[in-house]
Every structure is written in C-alpha cells, then in structure tokens.
Amino acid sequence: MLYYLLIALLVLGTLIYYFLIWNYDHWQKRNVCGPKPYPLLGSYPNLLLRRQHFGDDLQDIYKFYKTSQNYVGTYLMRTPTLLITDPQIVHEIFVTAFKHFDDNDVGKLIDTSKDPLIAKNPFILSGKEWILQRSFVTPALTSSRIKQSYQDIPEICREMAKFIIEYGCLGINGKDLALRFTSESLSSCVLGIKANSFTPSRLPISENVNKFASENVAFTIFTLLAGLAPEILKYYRMKFFPKDCENFFIDLMERAYKYRASEHFARNDILDHLIKAKEIENLSNLDVYSHTMTFLIDGLDTTATVISHCLLMLALEPLCQDKLFQEVCRSADNKGDLPFTTLNEMPYLDACIHESLRIYPPGLWSTKCCTKPYQFRNKDGSILSLQKGDSIIIPIYALHHDEEYYAEPYKFKPERFLIENGGVKRFRDHGIFLGFGDGPRTCLGMRFALIQCKAAISSLAKTFHIKLNAKTRKEFKLDPKSFLALHAGGVWLDFERR
C-alpha cells in the first residue's frame, strides 16, 4: 500500500513540477534572453519569499541586462512577461505607439460586475469603456474646479500643524500623518464632508482603503494563483472589495451626497460636477459612487506616499529644506498664507516633490498589455514581434535610479527638475521619469495630487524644522514587507517649531 502511495506521490510531484515549468521556454522560443526562472517563483522569487521588495527584483534584472538588451524575457510566476530596459521603447509604449498598448494589464484581474465601486475606474478599463469613463472624470478636474475644491485645504493644513504640536512633535509616523492629511483633504474636496482625521474620532477612511489595497490577503493570493495559471482568469475573477469595506464606502457616499443636497448654495467643485453629471447622464447612484471612489482608490495612498517621502528627504537634506523654507517665505502673502495660484508658481517646491516622486514613486512598476501587433528592435538589430495579449512590465523604480540618467541616483537633488535644467518634461520625454505615467493614460489626478502635496509640504516646512527621528533608517531601501513604495523601517520624523 505504502509503495503505491509513494508512486502516486512521485507521479503527482512530477506532474506538478512539469506544470510549473512547461512554458519556461516561451521567451527562448522567441529568441529573447532572460534569467533562468525558478519553478513556481518564476523570475521574481521575492514575490513570495519577500527577502527584498519586488521592485528590487525588477531592478536587479534591469541592471544585469540593460547594457546588452532592450528587453528581457521574464516570468511572473508562470506568466511570460517582457521587461523593458530601453527608455525609448518605454516612451513608445506609453506615448508614440500607445494604440498598440492601450490596456493596463491589471484590468484583466477585476470583474466589474462583482465590484461596482471600481467598475468605472479608468485605470482598470479598456477600449471604448476606458475612453467613456476617462472623459467623464476629466472635466471634474479642471483648474477652476480644483481651485474651488482647494478652499478648505489651508484650514486642513492648520489642523495638521495643531495635531503635530498636541501629539508631541517627536517620533511621528510620517506616512500616518500624510494619510490623515489626504483622508481629510479628499473627504473635503471630493465628498464635501469632514473626516475628523486629526481627532481621535476620525472616520476610518484610510483604514478601509488599506483593507482592499495593501491588506487584501485574499486578493493577493488570487493574483498569485492567476500568475501560476493565467487560464483561471477566463473562468473566474475574484471580488476585489471586501464586503464590509464596500458597505463602509457606500454608506459614507450616501451620507455625503445627502448632505450636499441639503446645502442651499452652489459650489463649482468636484462633487458638484459628479452630481450634475449624474443628472445629465442619468447615472445610477452606484455609478457615481464608483467615480467618486476613483479619487479615494487612486489618490489617497499615492499622494500620502509622496508627501511623507518628501518630508523624509527634506529631513535628510537640511540644505534643501532651508532653500524650500526661503522660497516659502518669499512667496507667502502678508498674512503668511500661500494661496492656490502662488503654490503653482514655486519652482523649488515643485522640484522637491518631483525628486521624491523619482526616488520613491508610488507606482514602482507599470504593467501593460499589447493590444495590437507591434515590433521591438533589440540592441543587436534583431526584431521581436509582439502579439495581442503579450504582457509587458516597465520597471519604473529601476529607471528612476539608473545612474546613467540620474547622477547619484540615491541622493535627493531637487535641482535636477528645475526648469533651467530642462524641467520634468526633459526626463519624461526620454522615458526615464514616470512618476505620473505618460501619454493618453497619464495620471488623471496629477494636478489635483500635486496641489495637495504642495499645500501640505509647504505648510509644514513653514511652521517646523523637519528632522529625522532616530528610528528612521538612513539608507534608501524599499520595505520588503510592503508591496507599496515605503522607506524600509518607515518614515519617522521629529518636528521642531520654527
């Protein structure tokens, strides 16, 4: 009996082993070089092992191949995924050859019929539906609506400073502070309500966003399974939003919309656009809630990541902080405030934000899907013909830290992004700065996110000396425990009143 059991186990083990490796010659057959994949783990062992961040795995492969190859054949577990090392090809994918790569690969993981709250998010949509929903959100983010929505932000900045002083100023968790700020500013700008983020009775907005984003274990397991057997996605796609979390946001939005309806004055802000568009286009409540959620899903953690890491960089580089302080003092009006238009005219502040977005970009990589055949040329002149459905990964973090493009890539040097040095555009046009992506799918909320970052950072730099707490590690390293961009060990700061 034991003998048969052993034979059965051996056969099963062999079958599983062959299942895990049978397509590992995919790139070889297409004449594309790449690292030898590990059974089960593919080319990125730390997706499972977590000894370093996935972004570092991408960077290791990028560094090894970039001088000899324009693209590398890799496997996300078992899924063949082409990693791009050449910035010109990156620019083609995002901009010039966009119509051949107009889908974000992540969209195929989501079933919009199961997840009404993400169903209208342009990031996961493709084809005509993407065009339709993107064109619905775009007018919500005109300069004048952002300006209107900005009205409460100076008060939120004051609440944040008060919170720091009351909390004790020392050993503050920078990411938590920034999440409180973005929860409050997004609630105010997009929902028109207060989230009390700087009080003990705050609305648990960021906690609920974390539940479906960074702490969504079930969805992470499903994503890994789909990496092992992509065929699953033809038959089954998992619900992304945990039910309790979905209920929390639906309830929050119902209350926000009722509250706005009870106000008897007009505000030409983001919420106003969503409400008017609902009436004109005869949308259901869930459709509008989904559009509203786009701001929270795409804007809450990303903006908080940029704010907290910019504070970290300013603490690490006191000379840069002094320069910023001087710009803030020069630009403030006679009440000491920085109005909306002024914030948009502060080059050093803008450069500081882009430089921290370079060092710790919330989008550490981007996955795209080939939607129409296209050809890439390799360094040796050979051609790769891409087919519809081929998956592509762009290692944004690696490109942002390549010393060929950025001297001393781990040093915070905002000067790189000043207009007199070519500005952000110079880097973006060369496919080496993708903090907000590029091309027709570029981040819809970019200007809105930037103004929030600018308001938060300038107000803190004006009120406090921002210093490194002893708990913060000085070396730049991504936290392997998180899938997001987070400084290893966290961002711990001390604030000393000026």
Binding footprint of ligand HEM on the chain (CB under 6 A):
94, 104, 122-123, 134, 294-295, 298-299, 302-303, 306, 362-363, 366, 435-439, 441-445, 448-449
Q: Is 443 annotated as a binding residue?
A: yes
Contact residues for 67 (Cβ-Cβ < 8 A; gap 6+)? none
Rg over alpha carbons for the chain, rounded to the nearest Å, is 24
User: Helix, strand, or coil here: 428?
Assistant: helix
Return the ∠ at Cα 171 (arms to 183 and 332), rounded to 5°: 60
Give least dist CB 167 to ligand HEM, A.
24
- DSSP per residue, 27-57: HHHTT---PPPBTTTBT-THHHH-SS-HHHH
Cα-Cα-Cα-Cα dihedral sign, residues 333, 339, 343, 349: positive
Residue 311 CB neighbours (<10 A): 27
Give least dist CB 305 to ligand HEM, A.
7
Alpha-carbon gap, residue 387 to 125, rounded angstroms: 20
Contact residues for 26 (Cβ-Cβ < 8 A; gap 6+)? 73, 75, 80
Q: Give the single-character DSSP code of 190.
A: I
Alpha-carbon gap, residue 176 to 164, rounded angstroms: 12
> Which amino acid, 62?
Y
Kind of pairing between the strands at 464-468 and 391-394: unpaired
By the 8 A CB rule, do 298 and 143 touch?
Answer: no
CA distances from 468 to 174, 248, 297 (A): 10, 36, 30
What tokens does 279 get? 């009436």
Give least dist CB 249 to ligand HEM, A.
15
Kind of pairing between the strands at 464-468 and 103-104: unpaired
Instruction: Name residue, tokens 């550490």.
Output: 364
Helix-then-strand count for the chain, H and E = 21, 10
Residue 50 CB neighbours (<10 A): 13
Selection from 337, 309, 310 nearest residue 153 by Cα: 337
User: Helix, strand, or coil here: 212?
Assistant: helix
Alpha-carbon gap, residue 434 to 359, rounded angstroms: 11
Cα-Cα-Cα-Cα dihedral sign, residues 345, 348, 353, 355: positive
Alpha-carbon gap, residue 229 to 225, rounded angstroms: 6
Q: Diameter of the chain by CA atoms?
A: 89
By the 8 A CB rule, do 478 and 488 touch?
Answer: yes
Q: List residues forming the annotated binding site for heme.
A: 443
